[in-house]
Amino acid sequence: MHELSIAQSLLEVALGSVKDPEIKQIRLIKLRIGRLTGVEPEALRFAWTAVSAGTIAAGAMLDVDWVPLTGRCHNCRQDLILKQYHVFCPVCRSPAFEMTSGQELTMDYLEVDTADEN
C-alpha cells in the first residue's frame, strides 16, 4: 500500500509549508494525481486520516484532480487519451511516442484557518 507513504509525504510537505504560527488548522489540500501513479483514492483517504491524526492537518479534506493518461506521437502527430501506458504509438506503432501526462503527484495549494478566524 504505497498510499501510506504518499500520505506521510503529503503531511510532511503540508506541515513544512505552514510557517506562520497564526495558522491553526489546515482545512483543504489540493492535489493533482496522474492516473498512471496507481494511487487508489479510498486507500489514500484512509491513510491520510491515519497519518494526520493529532496534527493541525487532522480532518483536512484532500481535493484531488485526477490527471488523465495522455500521450503524443511525434510521427503521426496524434494526441491521445490512453487507458494504459504505451511505449509505441497505439495508432501508427511508431516508437516516437511520448507519454505527456498521467504521472503527476503534486500538491497545488493548502487552505488554512488562522487564529483570528471562526
Closest C-alpha among 85, 115, 117 to residue 100? 85
Does 93 carry a binding-site annotation?
Answer: no
| Ramachandran angles phi, psi of 107, nearest 5° | -100, 115
Please check whether residue 53 lies inside any domain of the structure. yes
Please check whether residue 49 lies inside any domain of the structure. yes
Please check whether residue 94 lies inside any domain of the structure. no
Q: Give residue 54's region: left, alpha or beta (phi > 0; psi -120 to 50).
A: left
pLDDT in tens, 52-105: 999 999 999 999 999 999 999 999 999 999 999 999 999 999 999 999 999 999
Does 71 carry a binding-site annotation?
Answer: no
Type of residue at 71: G
Does 2 carry a binding-site annotation?
Answer: yes
Q: What is the pTM of this model?
A: 0.83
Please check whether residue 42 lies inside any domain of the structure. yes
Its domain, for residue 107, covers 2-68+102-114
Counting residues of the chain whose pLDDT is more than 90, the rounded percentage is 86
Please check whether residue 83 lies inside any domain of the structure. no
Please check whether residue 95 lies inside any domain of the structure. no
Does 76 carry a binding-site annotation?
Answer: yes
| Helix locations, 2-116, DSSP H | 2-17, 41-52
Please check whether residue 34 lies inside any domain of the structure. yes
Does 114 carry a binding-site annotation?
Answer: no
Please check whether residue 75 lies inside any domain of the structure. no
Whether 117 has a pLDDT exceeding 70, the answer reads no
CATH number at residue 53: 3.30.2320.50
CB atoms within 10 A of CB 35: 20
Give the model's pLDDT for residue 28: 97
Number of structural domains (the chain) is 1
